[in-house]
């Protein structure tokens, strides 16, 4: 219980910290709205040619676009969440300060990232989504149950997303530099999460593979749950499994890193 | 004293005579350097090379040495974030790198060049976090916070985001953060780096009080020898990872084999005084300067001068330790070359 309050405080701090970047938030809302509009027209053109691509109707494709814009910053799909700070702290040796604290490194950063995600959802994600809902026809459920299920998948998606980025950040203990890792995170994140095209629409064996990779837990699962395209329990199980595997891997790498690897700088 | 779930007195080795214990501690870094395309050279750096010392509870010790001597590395091992490559290390009977989290409740750390504070948030938010992190009982937290805020003059800064604090303000903020949970020992790695004279004086004053009134054990590294002169009765000098000197500040003079100067005013102008082993280095009218080995008793010398010459007044000038240490470093370097 005592440590619950600690991580709650860390999450609140993460939320408040991102809340201080007002200009960045406003710019983000604008960008996500503009991108949403561009993508919607692209998708509509595509779905005109290929109706029911990936099993989605036009309204569903539109909904998918706006969900993507809403979750883009929330799930730090192209990076830029807690892992960015963590990489910097490892690189400069500032991590020393985190290590001598009586707190769990992974939980600490997870809590901070959840706080960040919540802020970016409310501050940056909701507005573009509302904009989309007002100006474009969407396929949104009218009962409450899918929305509740959606919230659960969102939480799990946040954890999976964090777990991927945490692992990536830890690599800086060995690489001493986060540039390459950040680029890899960005490309894999955008492509394998289905930011470009829903993963449902990927054909053949390639499609089969991308749909079971952990990135599928981020945007595809919440979207399918919200639009009733998949059984929520199947989605939870898929996400939870990846969360457990990736967090455990993170833990393993973390203990190797802190045992073997050296804290930089005097 | 410390309100943690572990009672110090029940721990083996956590008695008063050796709160911090190092026995032949070493830290070797493997450094890989690119020497060409795909070619890498591996080199080992002995940052800490077989160091042994003990620090009893309640002592305030200075840990000094030139850049790259191994001071920060030692402190990192003491906090448990670096594992020694060899030797035995105990703090309050605990092996820091094995039980880092348990030990963390009993130690406070300030790295002068880093901050534990939350950069974008008000100072007070960081303290609230410490409250939770160290599970400080509410009443004690409030009491400690009030005391530290007063002593370190932080009241006007509590609502200021840390990134807006000046270096000296931030340092005071960091020191308070390290002490909210009543640590038994405080490690300070260059706590006065970059501070102005007034800020330095304030930090020193605070540390002196902390040590005297709360009995907190303090280990402090610095490049400012005034910190040591004003705070520490004991000093350890480290160079190239080796302990060169461990003892009272005054004793450094003997090791550094330096000289003190006796200034005597005589009744009238006289030829240079002859009282070996002192030798006259300067004569100016009736005033003469006599250099003598710092280890020699000044009293004996003064008595002899007074007995043999018409003495009016005198004063003794101590060599400043900067000179002493510079000399020690230089001698060490010479020995290394030959
Ligand atoms: N992460 C590291 N990897 C490789 N070598 C390191 C590392 N950290 C420290 N060293 C080496 O260990 C030695 C001691 O470094 P340390 O930081 O302990 O010195 P210091 O006494 O604190 O010096 P300063 O007064 O400059 O802070 C130096 O030679 C340094 O180059
Ligand atoms: Mg140092």
Which pLDDT tens digit goes with each residue over B227-264? 888 899 899 999 889 998 899 887 776 666 677 888 99
Please report the ipTM that was assigned to this predicted complex: 0.85
The answer to which of A142-146, B118-122, B320-324, B326-330 has the lowest mean pLDDT is B320-324
Query: Which three-class secondary structure state does DSSP give residue B33?
Result: strand
CB nearest B129 (choices: A13, A94, A99) = A13
The answer to which of A28-37, A213-222, B137-146, B310-319 has the lowest mean pLDDT is B310-319
User: What is residue B123's predicted lDDT score, i.e. its pLDDT?
Assistant: 96
User: What is residue B4's predicted lDDT score, i.e. its pLDDT?
Assistant: 42
Nearest in space to B191 (alpha carbons), one of B247, B164, B150, B152 = B152
Nearest in space to A84 (alpha carbons), one of A106, A103, A109 = A109
Q: Is A22 on the interface with B (CB under 8 A)?
A: no
A262 close to ligand 1 (CB < 6 Angstrom): yes
Containing structural domain, residue A61: 3-263
Span A24-41, pLDDT tens digits = 999 999 999 999 999 999
User: What does the radius of gyration of chain A's CA atoms come to, in whole angstroms?
Assistant: 19
The residue with tokens 């000098």 is B237
Q: Pick from B63, B68, B81, B241 the residue to mutate for testing the A interface (most A CBs within 10 Å).
A: B81
Kindly give the distance from the C-alpha atom of residue A266 to the centroid of ligand 2, in angstroms, as a whole number: 4
| Cα–Cα distance for residue pair A58/B205, rounded to 1 Å | 72
Are B96 and B80 within 8 A, CB to CB? yes
What angle separates helix B167-179 from helix B197-214, to the nearest 10 degrees?
10
The CA distance from A100 to the nearest CA of chain B, in Å, is 6
Q: Which residue of A has its CA nearest to B83?
A: A259
Number of the ligand 1 atom closest to the C-alpha atom of B65: 21
User: What is residue B239's predicted lDDT score, i.e. its pLDDT?
Assistant: 87
Q: Do A97 and B116 touch (CB under 8 A)?
A: yes
Q: Do A266 and B79 touch (CB under 8 A)?
A: no
pLDDT at B9 over 50: no
Kindly give the distance from the C-alpha atom of residue B74 to the centroid of ligand 2, in angstroms, as a whole number: 9
B67 close to ligand 1 (CB < 6 Angstrom): yes
> Taking CB atoms and an 8 Å cutoff, what residues of chain A touch B135?
2
- Residue B322's pLDDT band, with cuts at 50, 70 and 90, is low
Total tally of structural domains belonging to chain A: 1
DSSP chain A: -HHHHHHHHHHHHHHHHHHT-HHHHHHHHHHHHHHHHHHHHHHHHHHHHSTTGGG--HHHHHHHHHHHHHHHHHTTTTS-SHHHHHHHHHHHTTHHHHHTSSS-HHHHHHHHHHHHHHHIIIIIIHHHHHHHHHHS-----SSSHHHHHHHHHHHHHHHHHHHHHHHHHHTHHHHS--HHHHHHHHHHHHHHTTSSS-GGG--HHHHHHHTTSGGGGTTHHHHHHHTT-S-HHHHHHHHHHHHHHHHHHHHHHHHHHHHHS-----
Kindly give the distance from the C-alpha atom of residue A90 to the centroid of ligand 1, in angstroms, as a whole number: 16
B297 close to ligand 1 (CB < 6 Angstrom): no
Q: Do A97 and B115 touch (CB under 8 A)?
A: yes
| Cα–Cα distance for residue pair B115/B103, rounded to 1 Å | 20
Q: Is A187 on the interface with B (CB under 8 A)?
A: no
pLDDT at B13 over 50: no
> Taking CB atoms and an 8 Å cutoff, what residues of chain A touch B95?
none
Nearest in space to B186 (alpha carbons), one of B197, B194, B175, B195 = B175
Q: Longest Cα pair distance anywhere in chain A, in angstroms?
A: 61
| Cα–Cα distance for residue pair B325/B334, rounded to 1 Å | 14
> Taking CB atoms and an 8 Å cutoff, what residues of chain B touch A257?
none
Out of 3.40.50.300, 2.60.40.4070, 3.40.50.460, 1.10.15.40, the CATH code matching B25-252 is: 3.40.50.300
Q: Which of B33, B42, B45, B76 to mutate to test the pocket of ligand 1 (most atoms within 8 A of CB)?
A: B45
Q: Do B121 and A258 touch (CB under 8 A)?
A: no
Proximal ligand: closest to the CA of B78: 1
User: What is residue A100's predicted lDDT score, i.e. its pLDDT?
Assistant: 84
The answer to which of B34-38, B99-103, B286-290 has the lowest mean pLDDT is B34-38
The arithmetic mean of pLDDT across residues B262-276, rounded, is: 88
Q: Where exactly are the structural domains of chain B? A: 25-252, 259-318
pLDDT at B136 over 90: yes
Nearest in space to B141 (alpha carbons), one of A8, A14, A12, A5 = A5
CB nearest B104 (choices: A5, A96, A100) = A100
- CA angle (B112 as vertex; B47, B217 as ends), nearest 5: 80
Low-confidence ranges of chain A (pLDDT < 70): 1-2, 260-266
Q: Is A4 on the interface with B (CB under 8 A)?
A: no
């Amino acid at each position: 219980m005592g440590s619950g309050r600690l991580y709650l405080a860390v999450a609140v701090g993460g939320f408040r910290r991102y809340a201080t970047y007002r200009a960045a938030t406003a710019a983000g809302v604008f960008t996500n709205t503009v991108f949403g509009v561009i993508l919607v027209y692209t998708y509509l053109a595509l779905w005109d040619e290929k109706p029911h691509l990936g099993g989605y109707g036009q309204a569903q494709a539109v909904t998918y676009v706006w969900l993507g814009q809403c979750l883009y910053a929330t799930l730090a799909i192209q990076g830029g969440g807690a892992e960015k700070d963590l990489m910097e702290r490892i690189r400069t040796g500032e991590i020393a300060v985190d290590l001598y604290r009586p707190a769990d490194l992974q939980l600490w950063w997870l809590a901070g990232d959840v706080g960040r995600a919540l802020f970016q959802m409310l501050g940056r994600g909701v507005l573009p989504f509302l904009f989309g809902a007002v100006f474009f026809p969407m396929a949104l459920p009218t009962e409450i149950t899918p929305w509740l299920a959606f919230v659960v998948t969102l939480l799990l998606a946040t954890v999976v997303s964090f777990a991927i980025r945490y692992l990536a950040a830890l690599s800086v203990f060995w690489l001493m530099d986060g540039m390459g890792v950040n680029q890899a995170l960005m490309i894999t994140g955008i492509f394998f999460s289905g930011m470009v095209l829903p993963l449902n629409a990927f054909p053949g064996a390639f499609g089969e593979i991308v749909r079971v990779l952990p990135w599928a837990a981020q945007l595809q699962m919440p979207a399918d749950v919200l639009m009733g395209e998949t059984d929520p329990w199947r989605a939870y199980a898929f996400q939870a499994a990846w969360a457990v595997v990736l967090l455990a891997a993170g833990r393993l790498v973390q203990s190797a890193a802190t045992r073997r690897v050296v804290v930089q700088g005097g | 004293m410390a309100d943690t779930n572990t009672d110090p007195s029940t721990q083996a080795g956590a008695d008063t005579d050796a709160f911090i214990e190092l026995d032949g501690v070493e830290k070797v870094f493997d450094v890989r350097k690119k020497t060409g395309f795909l070619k890498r050279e591996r080199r080992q750096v002995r940052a800490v090379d077989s160091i042994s010392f003990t620090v009893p509870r309640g002592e305030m010790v200075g840990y000094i040495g030139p850049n790259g001597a191994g001071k920060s590395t030692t402190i990192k091992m003491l906090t448990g974030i670096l594992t020694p490559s060899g030797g035995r290390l105990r703090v309050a009977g605990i092996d820091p790198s094995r039980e880092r989290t348990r030990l963390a409740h009993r130690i406070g750390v300030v790295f002068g060049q880093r901050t534990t504070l939350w950069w974008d948030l008000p100072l007070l938010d960081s303290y609230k976090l410490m409250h939770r992190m160290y599970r400080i009982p509410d009443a004690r937290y409030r009491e400690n916070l009030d005391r530290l805020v007063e002593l370190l003059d932080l009241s006007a800064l509590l609502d200021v985001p840390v990134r807006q604090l000046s270096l000296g303000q931030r340092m005071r903020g960091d020191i308070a953060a390290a002490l909210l949970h009543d640590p038994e020992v405080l490690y300070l790695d260059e706590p006065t780096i970059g501070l102005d004279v007034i800020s330095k004086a304030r930090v020193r004053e605070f540390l002196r009080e902390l040590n005297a009134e709360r009995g907190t054990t303090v280990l402090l590294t610095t490049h400012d020898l005034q910190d040591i002169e004003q705070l520490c009765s004991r000093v350890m000098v480290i160079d190239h990872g080796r302990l060169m000197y461990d003892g009272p500040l005054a004793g450094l003079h003997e090791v550094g084999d330096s000289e003190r100067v006796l200034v005597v005013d005589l009744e009238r102008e006289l030829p240079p005084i002859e009282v070996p082993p002192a030798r006259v280095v300067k004569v100016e009218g009736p005033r003469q300067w006599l250099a003598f080995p710092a280890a020699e008793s000044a009293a004996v010398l003064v008595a002899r001068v007074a007995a043999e010459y018409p003495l009016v007044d005198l004063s003794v000038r101590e060599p400043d330790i900067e000179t002493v240490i510079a000399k020690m470093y230089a001698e060490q370097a010479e020995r290394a070359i030959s």
